[in-house]
Amino acid sequence: MSARSPFYITTAIPYANGAPHIGHAYERIAADAIARFKRLDGFDVLFVTGMDEHGQKMQRTAAHEGQTPQQLADRTAAQFAAMGTALFAGADDVVRTTQTRHHAAARELWTRMAAAGDIYRSKYPGWYSVRDEAFFDESELIEGPGGTLLAPTGAPVEWVEEESYYFKLSAYRDRLLKLYRDSPDFVTPEKYRNEIVAFVERGLTDLSISRSTFDWGIPVPGDARHVMYVWVDALANYITATGFPDPEALRQKFWPASAHVIGKDITRFHAVYWPAFLMSAKLALPRQIVVHGFLFNRGEKMSKSVGNVIDPLALARHYGADQLRYFLLREVPFGQDGTYSHEAIVNRINADLANDLGNLAQRCLAMVARNCGGILPAPAALSEADQALLAQAAALPAKSRAAMQDYALHMVLTGIWRVAGEANRYFASEEPWVKRKNDPPRMQTILYVTAEVLRMVAIMTQPFMPASMEKLLGLLSVPENARNFVDAEIAQGLVAGTLLPLPAPVFPRYIDAEEHLLKKGLT
C-alpha cells in the first residue's frame, strides 16, 4: 500500500448560538470542494468542521430561550449537520467544544503553554459590556443619554477589574515575523498576509485568555475559578480532531493541518494567536491559513433588520445544492468578497450548466442512443481537431492543480468550462448530424471524442458538483474506480463498445414561475 500524503483541512467553527446563514454555507462548500479535489487527486484527506459552544453569549441566549446551554448547542449542532448534508458538504468529523475529547485537548494545550512559562495571572481592568461580552478602550466609548458611557455598539458598559490569565503574546513578535518571512504564503491571499505582517510589526501586547465572570467553558487547569476564554478553547479544536494529545491516535499523522479555511474577519486569531499558541506548546504549525471573503445579497450586507437574511437550505432547495455550489465557487473569485442575486444565479444555471455542459452532453449522448444503438462507438483515426480537443481536456488536471495551489477555485472552473466551450465549437463545426448521412465512421469518431471530453470534464468537476457529476459519469458508464484525476489525464479512457444507459438531462433549465406560466399559456 503506497502511503498517500495526508491532507487535513478545516473550516472555522461557527458559534453555536444561531442558525447557519449563507456565510457558513459558503465556507463549508468551499472547504468541501477543496477536500474533494484533494481526495480525487490522490491525497489521504481529513475534512473537519466544528462548533464553538462555550461562552457567556451561549449562556445568555439559552437562558433567554428557557433552555440549558447544552440544549441550545445540541439544537444548533443539528442545524449545521443538516446543512452539511443538504449541501453535499458533510465533514469527516465535527468537533464540538463541549465534547470530553476537546476538553482534554484544550487543557493539554493550556498546560503545555503554561509549562513553557508563557501564561501568567494578572488583572484585566477596563470598561466591560456584558451584552457584547467584550472590553472596550475608553477612547472607543460613546456618550449615551444622560452622559452615561456606552460601548460602540450602544450597549451599556461598567468598569470592572477582573483577574485573568494572560498569554505572553508579546514575546512572539519576532518568531511570528520570521514565520511570515519563511512561509510567505502562510496567510493567503497576499492581501491578508500583508495586513497581518503590518499588524504584528507594530508590536503585540499580551492576550487575556481566561474569564471568571461566567462558567460555561473549559476550566483552567489548576484554577477552576476560571474558564478558558474563546481563543485557546476554540482554536484548539483543530488539534482535537487529530486525537491530540494521544500520541498513538490514528489521526496524529494529519497534524499539522494543511489548510485552515476561515473568513476574513477572524484572520488575526488564526494567523497570529494560533501559531503563537502552537509555538509555545511546541507543536507543529499549520501549513496555511486560507482566507475567504464575505457574500453580499445584491451588494447589501445581510442583516436581520434589512430582512435579507437567507436560509442556505432554502437556496439549496430552490436552485439545487450542486447549482448553488457551482454558483458560489464560480462566480466569486475565492478570497474576495462577492455578491449573489437571483438573476446572477439563474444566469449561471442556464448559461453554464444547462446550455454549455448539460446540453452538450445531451446532444452527444442522444446521438449515440439513436444512431449507435446506445453503444459507445469506436473512434477511427483521429483528426487534428480531435487530438487538439482531447489534449486540452487531458491538460485539465495539471491546470487545475496549478490553480488550486492558490486555492483559486473559480479559476479551476473557468478552465474546465473553457474546454466545454471548445467542445461545443468542435461539435458544431464537425457536424456529426451531417456525417451521419455521408460518413458514419467519422460521426462515430466525433461522438466518441465528445463523450471522452465529457468524461474528463465530469471527472474534474466532481469536487464542485458531486451529485450531478455522478449522474453524468453514470450516463457515460465510467466505472466508480476510474473517476480520479489521474483517469482524466488519459485521453481515450472510455471503452468503445460499452452500452450506455438512456440519456437524461443532467442540468434542467431554471424557469421563473411567471415565465413558466407564460410558456404554458396560462396567463
Partner RNA sequence: GGCGGAGUAGCUCAGCCGGCUAGAGCAGAGGAAUCAUAAUCCUUGUGUCGGGGGUUCGAGUCCCUCCUCCGCUACCA
Query: Which part of the chain contacts RNA (CB under 7 A), choosing from 81-89, 356-364, 396-404, 455-463?
Result: 356-364
Based on the shown chain and the rule CB under 7 A, indicate whether residue 508 belongs to the binding site for RNA: yes
Contact, 51 vs 80, CB < 8 A? yes
We find the least distance from the C-beta atom of residue 56 to RNA, in angstroms, to be 9
Residue labelled with grid coordinates 468524461: 455
Q: For residues 409 and 88, give the distance between their C-alpha atoms in angstroms, rounded to a whole number.
A: 17
Contact, 73 vs 51, CB < 8 A? yes
Based on the shown chain and the rule CB under 7 A, indicate whether residue 303 belongs to the binding site for RNA: no
Based on the shown chain and the rule CB under 7 A, indicate whether residue 79 belongs to the binding site for RNA: no
Q: For residues 204 and 21, give the distance between their C-alpha atoms in angstroms, rounded to a whole number.
A: 33
x-marked contacts with RNA along 154-183 as a string, rule CB under 7 A = ---------------xx-------------
Based on the shown chain and the rule CB under 7 A, indicate whether residue 333 belongs to the binding site for RNA: yes
Contact, 47 vs 91, CB < 8 A? yes
Based on the shown chain and the rule CB under 7 A, indicate whether residue 336 belongs to the binding site for RNA: yes
The CA-atom distances, in angstroms, between 396 and each of 453, 471, 489 are: 11, 20, 8
Task: Indicate the residue among 180 and 427 with the shorter CB distance to RNA.
Answer: 427
Q: For residues 419 and 396, give the distance between their C-alpha atoms in angstroms, rounded to a whole number.
A: 8
Query: Which part of the chain contacts RNA (CB under 7 A), choosing from 27-35, 78-86, 176-184, 196-204?
Result: 196-204
CB atoms under 10 Å from CB of 284, counted, come to 11
Interface with RNA (CB under 7 A), residue total 68
We find the least distance from the C-beta atom of residue 242 to RNA, in angstroms, to be 18
Based on the shown chain and the rule CB under 7 A, indicate whether residue 367 belongs to the binding site for RNA: yes
Half-sphere exposure of 409 (CA within 13 A, CB side): 33
Based on the shown chain and the rule CB under 7 A, indicate whether residue 137 belongs to the binding site for RNA: yes
Contact, 102 vs 54, CB < 8 A? no
Burial class (CB in 10 A: 0-12, 13-18, 19+), 514: exposed
Task: Indicate the residue among 212 and 252 with the shorter CB distance to RNA.
Answer: 212
Based on the shown chain and the rule CB under 7 A, indicate whether residue 109 belongs to the binding site for RNA: no
**Any residues with CB less than 8 A from the CB of 224 and at least 6 apart, and which?**
none
Residue selected from 37, 47, 110, 136 as contacting RNA according to rule CB under 7 A: 136
We find the least distance from the C-beta atom of residue 126 to RNA, in angstroms, to be 8
The DSSP call for residue 90 is -
Task: Indicate the residue among 448 and 485 with the shorter CB distance to RNA.
Answer: 448
Phi and psi at residue 48, in whole multiples of 5°?
Answer: -125, 140
SS3 of 167-223: ECHHHHHHHHHHHHHHCCCCEECHHHHHHHHHHHHCCCCCEECEECCCCCCCEECCE
We find the least distance from the C-beta atom of residue 198 to RNA, in angstroms, to be 5
Q: Beta strand pairing status for 119-129 and 158-167?
A: antiparallel
What is the amino acid identity at position 279?
Answer: M
Bridge partners for 514 per DSSP: none
x-marked contacts with RNA along 435-474 as a string, rule CB under 7 A = ----------------------------------------
Residue selected from 70, 424, 492, 498 as contacting RNA according to rule CB under 7 A: 424
Residue selected from 326, 427, 448, 464 as contacting RNA according to rule CB under 7 A: 427
- Residues 47-66 touching RNA, rule: CB under 7 A, are 52, 55, 57
Q: For residues 57 and 216, give the distance between their C-alpha atoms in angstroms, rounded to a whole number.
A: 9
Residue selected from 134, 171, 177, 403 as contacting RNA according to rule CB under 7 A: 134
Based on the shown chain and the rule CB under 7 A, indicate whether residue 120 belongs to the binding site for RNA: no
Query: Which part of the chain contacts RNA (CB under 7 A), choosing from 76-84, 197-205, 249-257, 307-315?
Result: 197-205
Q: For residues 250 and 242, give the distance between their C-alpha atoms in angstroms, rounded to a whole number.
A: 8
Task: Indicate the residue among 347 and 484 with the shorter CB distance to RNA.
Answer: 347
Based on the shown chain and the rule CB under 7 A, indicate whether residue 322 belongs to the binding site for RNA: no
We find the least distance from the C-beta atom of residue 191 to RNA, in angstroms, to be 6
Question: The C-alpha cell of 415 is what?
Answer: 478552465
The CA-atom distances, in angstroms, between 347 and each of 120, 296, 300, 337, 356 are: 57, 17, 20, 19, 12
x-marked contacts with RNA along 221-240 as a string, rule CB under 7 A = --------xxx--xx-----
Based on the shown chain and the rule CB under 7 A, indicate whether residue 307 belongs to the binding site for RNA: no
Bridge partners for 161 per DSSP: 125
Query: Which part of the chain contacts RNA (CB under 7 A), choosing from 107-115, 195-203, 307-315, 482-490?
Result: 195-203
We find the least distance from the C-beta atom of residue 436 to RNA, in angstroms, to be 7
Q: Beta strand pairing status for 338-340 and 295-297?
A: parallel
Residue selected from 5, 85, 148, 194 as contacting RNA according to rule CB under 7 A: 194
Question: Max CA-CA distance within the chain?
Answer: 92
We find the least distance from the C-beta atom of residue 20 to RNA, in angstroms, to be 12
Binding site residues, RNA, CB under 7 A: 12-15, 17, 52, 55, 57, 124, 132-137, 140, 169-170, 191, 194-195, 198-199, 202-205, 207-208, 229-231, 234-235, 265-266, 268-269, 333, 336, 347, 350-351, 354-356, 358-359, 361-363, 366-367, 370, 421, 424-425, 427-429, 431-433, 505-509
